[in-house]
Amino acid sequence: MDTSPNILVADDYHQMRLAVQHVLSGMDLHNVHAASQGLEARHILESVPISLVIADWNMPGMTGYDLLRWCRNDQHYRDVPFILLTAESGRDFLGRAIEAGVSDYLVKPFTASTLRARINKILSAPPGPRRAPFKPAMPIAYETPVLGFDAPSEERLARSSVLVVDDVATNIEVIAGILKSEYAIKVAISGRKALEIAAGDNPPDLILLDVMMPEMDGYEVARRLKADARTRDIPVIFLTAKDQVDDVVDGLDLGAVDYVVKPAQPAILKARIRTHLRLSQANRDLKRQNQVLAENARLRDDIERITRHDLKSPIAAIAQTADSLLLDSEVPPALRDRLNLLGGAASHALEMVNLSFTLYKIEQGQYHAEPTRIDLGRLLGSVTQEMNVQFAWKPVMIVLDVPSAQAALGEAALCRSVFANLLKNAVEAAPEGTEVKVSLLRREHEVLIEFVNVGAVPAAIRPRFFEKYVTQGKSGGTGLGTYSARMLTEALGGRIELHSDDARVQTRLSVFLPAAD
């Protein structure tokens, strides 16, 4: 009799469930219960005494995080070890998991040896409420805000430095006395020294520049400051006894931001300096933000290129290698199972890359469909079977109504993706004990495929239901499923419609495709 503990593995990705089960099997842990959804996992927990839960964070319906919180609020599972698997490594995700009471946290991808080590550590720990709380194995790398600011705006203003340029020492002493309590003060008694300080390793944040100086006057200093890439962005305020209109205009034309007449009133001088320091800081922040956005755009383009082009060859090579090894009759059964797992995962990844590439080309207006005749009854039957397996845990009946053979013009892979997305959404939205009806009808020169479920789409999102990223009230929802369904349908020369009725509490999604004959 197998006395190993009951372990629950919950992940909506079939290949990941199999991979974790292989690791557990290699550890002689064979009492494994698998779930493809959070609610299915909860039903198992309610019927079988589970000693360890290994769950993916991002699952439709009820996420792994929601399942963790449910366990910690249940008297039977509040102290049962719980490992979260996720592709998210951010501080916020980890903080939420720790606060909810996670026992361990693994970021995908991870190795089988890492998973084995974490499971061994958990199962060897003493049971009960005294189990030590989870602590990250490595220090948390706190994320830097987008703009990379290291201090709030007012704090950075208080650290600002002001360069006072004047050939009269008493004038410098007066200005420095006014400002020294709020800013770091630098001084220069000549234009050349001012240029040297401004272009140095620690330039000032603002320059107060006297106009009337021997050898090099303030106008020439300003002209040279603006001609140098190292100093052109430092704000310059002219400080002078010259107050004629032409003098002011000349100074502003040279790039000065303001003009203060001697003797300066302390309150006015401070207010103007503070205003221009704020404006300068805002301009620098905006430039940094634009740099970050440009870098993010380049990174996005690189990722799209890698995902849609560079990944296809190695993934295809993995699938082909697994298939070729399976042809060897001498491959032992245990290794054959692992090769099937490897080949299936590679094939699924390749399908996802291809579909992503197709969707990208559709968005760019570069996709040209190559429609062929498709037996819709057979295709819908295959998709329905897949959904019945995926949602075996949920008491929702899928009823397929195909009164006669119907064929459409399209691409089988794209149609399968559309039907699978819409049927999956319908089953997820349908209350337990209800049914989802899939029907196939002929309408003149079109074929109509309808998906009907109990439950209404929230009124707030109905006008934007097929737009990108639109979702509401669906844990883990991305708003990409219905968007891709619309894009793929339209690329095949069809259309898709939503009808959601609050009175009947019913939702109907209608897909129209060109009939094959």
CATH superfamily, domain at 7-124: Response regulator (3.40.50.2300)
- Number of neighbouring beta carbons within 10 Å of residue 159: 10
pLDDT at 143 over 50: no
Between CA 258 and CA 238 the distance in angstroms is: 6
pLDDT at residue 145 in the model? 37
Maximal C-alpha separation, the chain: 102
Confidence band of 507 (pLDDT split at 50, 70, 90): very high
> Could you read off the pLDDT of 193-211 as tens digits, one per residue?
999 999 988 899 999 998 8
- Phi/psi for 492 (5° steps) reads -90, 5
More confident call, 430 vs 358: 430
Give the pLDDT band of residue 423 (cuts 50, 70, 90). Answer: very high
Comparing 330 with 305, the larger pLDDT belongs to: 330
DSSP state of 330: T
Is 80 exceeded by the pLDDT of residue 50? yes
**Pairwise pLDDT comparison (315 vs 207), residue with the higher score:** 207
pLDDT of residue 192: 93
366: helix, strand or coil = coil
Model's pTM, two decimal places? 0.52
Q: Do the two domains 7-124 and 153-285 of this chain adopt the same fold?
A: yes
Cis peptide before 332 (omega within 30 of 0): no
Q: Would you say 407 and 376 are in contact if contact means Cβ atoms under 8 Å apart?
A: yes
Q: Express each pLDDT in 231-256 by its tens digit.
A: 999 999 988 776 666 666 777 888 88
Reply yes or no on whether the pLDDT at 151 is more than 60.
no
Query: Given this model, what pLDDT does residue 148 score?
Result: 36
> In the chain, where are the structural domains located?
7-124, 153-285, 311-363, 372-514
Segment 349-370 mean pLDDT: 79
> From CA 406, how far away is CA 402, in angstroms rounded?
8
Question: pLDDT band at 473, cuts 50/70/90?
Answer: low
pLDDT surpassing 60 at residue 147: no
Find all residues with CB under 8 Å of 227, minimum gap 6, and list them. none
The structure tokens 């991808």 sit at 109
pLDDT value of position 149: 38
The pLDDT, as a whole number, for residue 121 is 87
3-state secondary structure of 65: helix
Residue 58, classed as helix, strand or coil, is: coil
pLDDT of residue 247: 64
Q: Which CATH superfamily is domain 153-285 in?
A: Response regulator (3.40.50.2300)
Please give the pLDDT value at position 96: 86
CATH architecture, domain 372-514: 2-Layer Sandwich (3.30)
Tokens matching residue 504: 């009947």
DSSP one-letter string for 282-299: HHHHHHHHHHHHHHHHHH
> What does the alpha-carbon distance between residue 40 and residue 249 come to, in Å, rounded to a whole number?
75
pLDDT digits (tens, 9 = 90+) for 101-139: 999 988 877 778 888 888 988 888 766 554 455 554 443
**pLDDT score at 141:** 37
Mean pLDDT score across all residues of the chain: 83
Higher pLDDT, 141 or 237: 237
Q: Nearest Cα to 406, choosing from 364, 446, 455, 372?
A: 446
pLDDT score recorded for residue 249: 76
* Cα dihedral value 329, 333, 335, 341, nearest 10: 100
For 163-174, the pLDDT digits (tens) are 999 988 888 888
Banded model confidence at residue 260, pLDDT cuts 50, 70, 90: confident
Mean pLDDT along residues 75-98:
84
